[in-house]
A and B are shown apart, each in its own frame.
Chain A
Amino acid sequence: MIHVLIIEDEAPAAVKLIKQVNELQPDWIIMATHDSISSSVEFLQINEPDLIFMDIHLADGDSFEIFNQIKIKCPVIFTTAHSDFAIKAFKVNGLDYLLKPIPNSEIKRVIKKFKNQTGQKLPENIHTILQNIQTKHKERFLIKMNKQLISIPVKAIAYFYSEDKLSFIKTEKGDRFPLDESLDKIEKQLDSNSFFRINRKTILNINAIQKIESYFNGRLSLTIMPTPEEKVIVSREKVRYFKKWLGD
């Protein structure tokens, strides 16, 4: 007999899900439904379900927090209404998810999959996977240049810089491409582990840094590749964060 836990903060959605599961698997027992991180954690400290359906956005935060607080041993199927980058990344990592509203065919699919792989646990590194998924960043930039469309992977970018109010990409190979977004907007889409806004005019890839020297007024002077036309200075208010960024 299979014991199922449903974590879902919207009552009608929970009722619907219970009905769908019951219809397909009358022998399964729905242990409980919980609508928050805290109540789910409390429940899981005492009980051990065989399968969990877990909504991502809960009453008191994102359900990923549950994994930070308690070790879950059984398979988890995530449910959500939004199909953004994060959700697409689930499949890559072998985690299953259902998009709401959930069609019967989808419920059938995951139940079948669950039956075929009973005993299969969540990946050991679920914690890091979820963390990476939560902070999914832009991977490519689309550029229009010389009547062509070019897709540039973020990995190949040494730095972003602005010049006379326009933004540019400089690649590792030294090619320059114009970009029609402000540095402020670009900064938000990038992985802060690899990229850092060292001053008003530059967002730097950590791999582009060759040498760091101290400079006047407590600032830092950088040697970066490919060499830009202007001297690269880490502004004073950024120095502390810059050092922290390098240290992480």
Chain B
Amino acid sequence: MAWKEYVKNEPWTLLKFNDRWLRMIVIPIFALISQFALHPTPTDSFFVKITTSLIITIIYWHISRSIILYFRRRLPNIQDYFKRMVFQIIGLILSNIILFVLIGLLLRKTLPQFITNTNYSSSFFIPFAFTFSIVLIYESIYLLHEWKQAALGKEITQKEQVITQLKVLQNQTNPHFLFNSLNTLSSFIQEQPNLAEKYVNKLAEVYRYMLNIHKHELITLKEELDFLADYYFLMQIRYGKNLHLEIKNNGLAKSKYIIPMSLQILLENAIKHNIISNKQPLHISLNIEKNNVSITNKHQPKLTKKAHSNETGLSNLIKRYQLISELSPTISNDQIHFQVTLPLLNINQYQTS
């Protein structure tokens, strides 16, 4: 019962493609060529000759194919590839010799006019060459397929790794950010209840965005800018006029895409690593161009470096870009200004018929 499904299904899975058309086209071509190997007797009709040749080619092809399939089934792992090739080649040589002898005997009995001793034995290498080409076709398709799968698989594992790292990082930053925000809030909640309420509302907006964003790989620049505005509001209350963000929008880039929270990470980094004081206020400028967006701040690093904050946010951002695009963020630091430029991405809509 099950054998029928086995025969119908298994070969294509093992061969990594449906070889029906290959066989239908290539077998007749091989037959056409190999008929010249038969003894040239012009008296015989071309039809008998080509039929004989076709039958022989079909037998050769399918026996070789079965041998390939047999060893792929027995040794399916890519690690056993070399071992399998050795067995396969031995199997094919043996089968070729046996087939050659059997077919020779059969021809001598049924169609002796095609066969002379010298002629037949000298044609041994013709089916041999064909068998070799058959193996070459099947193996190259197999290897191409394995190579493609391996490349895809590698990309996917990389992606999974970065996503896990990212989650860990997010779980670290969120509590810190919440804690700092609550501290800020407690300092003015009694004196300025209206502002405190506004602050809480913005904090809720920021968290709402953070909670939802993990579902999206990319987000429109407009959405990210709205989020950044809320985040900046919170920071502005904390640092007052010592912190200043200037947004210069030069382009019609709002429909372009960006990695979620990327601008916030850059703003957060600038705030975290630089001096923000009455004497040395921090000016940050955000420039939106046609194909990229950059955040620039005056390089005024804190005298004591934070223990474990070393640009993990930034390197993670670069990794995330690498996974999704060929374009990568660029960082420039000339000790006067620190600048990070993020490429803006386009998404093509799939054209449905």
* Chain A residues at the B interface, C-beta cutoff of 8 Å: 81-84, 99-101, 103, 142, 144, 147-153, 155-156, 163-166, 171-173, 175, 178, 180, 215-217, 229-231, 233
- Return the contact of A149 from the options B159, B211, B345, B352 (Cβ within 8 A): B345
Interchain CB contact under 8 A, B204 and A100:
yes
Query: Could you give 21 example pairs across A and B, Cβ below 8 Å?
Result: A82-B211, A101-B201, A103-B197, A103-B198, A142-B217, A147-B325, A149-B218, A149-B324, A150-B347, A150-B348, A150-B349, A151-B347, A156-B350, A163-B149, A165-B153, A166-B152, A166-B156, A180-B159, A216-B5, A229-B18, A230-B12
With A101-B204, A230-B13, A231-B9 as known contacts, state yes or no: A151 contacts B348, CB within 8 Å.
yes
> How far apart sit A179 and B350, CA to CA, in the bound complex (Å)?
15
- Residues 104-120 of B, flagged 1 when their CB comes within 8 A of A and 0 if not, give 00000000000000000
Contacting residues of chain B (303-353) with chain A, CB-CB under 8 angstroms? 323-326, 345-350, 352-353
In the complex, given contacts A151-B347, A163-B149, A216-B5, what are 17 additional A-B residue pairs having Cβ atoms less than 8 angstroms apart? A99-B204, A100-B204, A103-B201, A142-B218, A149-B257, A149-B346, A150-B348, A150-B350, A153-B350, A153-B352, A156-B350, A180-B156, A180-B160, A217-B1, A217-B2, A229-B18, A231-B9
| B9 contact set on A, CB distance < 8 A | 230-231
Interchain CB contact under 8 A, A172 and B353:
yes
Confirm or deny: B74 has a beta carbon within 8 angstroms of a beta carbon on chain A.
no
* Chain B residues at the A interface, C-beta cutoff of 8 Å: 1-2, 4-5, 8-9, 12-13, 17-18, 149, 152-153, 155-156, 159-160, 197-198, 200-201, 204, 208, 211-212, 217-218, 257, 323-326, 345-350, 352-353
> How far apart sit A211 and B323, CA to CA, in the bound complex (Å)?
40
> How far apart sit A101 and B200, CA to CA, in the bound complex (Å)?
8
> How far apart sit A163 and B257, CA to CA, in the bound complex (Å)?
31
| B12 contact set on A, CB distance < 8 A | 229-230
- Return the contact of A166 from the options B153, B200, B204, B345 (Cβ within 8 A): B153
The smallest beta-carbon distance between A72 and chain B, in angstroms, is: 28
Q: Which residue in chain B gives the minimum CB-CB distance to A143?
A: B350
> How far apart sit A216 and B346, CA to CA, in the bound complex (Å)?
49
- Return the contact of B212 from the options A83, A215, A216 (Cβ within 8 A): A83
With A101-B201, A164-B149, A166-B152 as known contacts, state yes or no: A151 contacts B350, CB within 8 Å.
yes
| A164 contact set on B, CB distance < 8 A | 149
> How far apart sit A144 and B348, CA to CA, in the bound complex (Å)?
10
